[in-house]
Amino acid sequence: MKRTYVKSLKEYRHPSRFEEKKILAAARRLKKKRKLPTSVALEKETIKELKALAEWRGVPYQILMRMFILEGLHHSRAADARQPAAAADRGR
């Protein structure tokens, strides 16, 4: 069975479209909002990759993880909005 790793996909070969100034401005703006601490168990290699990517982008890795989570949530909500029947069924 051949394994395919996410980091080997062509989408990951080019720099992302995040802009350092916007990320840091958003981080300062959101810092004022109350956040609840949580923990996520990740493999050591995943954390190393996140830290390297965050350093390359010039942001703290915790902020980068939060951005990924919020972006995924946004995409999930958008997908649910496009499929109202499926979203209504989950609410039952």
Question: How would DSSP label each residue in 15-76?
Answer: --S--HHHHHHHHHHHHTS----------HHHHHHHHHHHHHHTS-HHHHHHHHHHHHHHHH
Query: What was the pLDDT predicted at 21?
Result: 80
Query: What was the pLDDT predicted at 10?
Result: 64
Cβ(61)–Cβ(54) below 8 Å: yes
Query: What was the pLDDT predicted at 86?
Result: 56
Cβ(57)–Cβ(18) below 8 Å: yes
pLDDT tens series, the chain, 92 aa: 666 665 666 656 665 666 778 777 877 777 777 778 889 999 999 999 999 999 998 889 998 999 999 999 988 888 888 876 655 556 55
Query: What was the pLDDT predicted at 85?
Result: 61
Query: What was the pLDDT predicted at 92?
Result: 53
| pTM score of the predicted model | 0.53
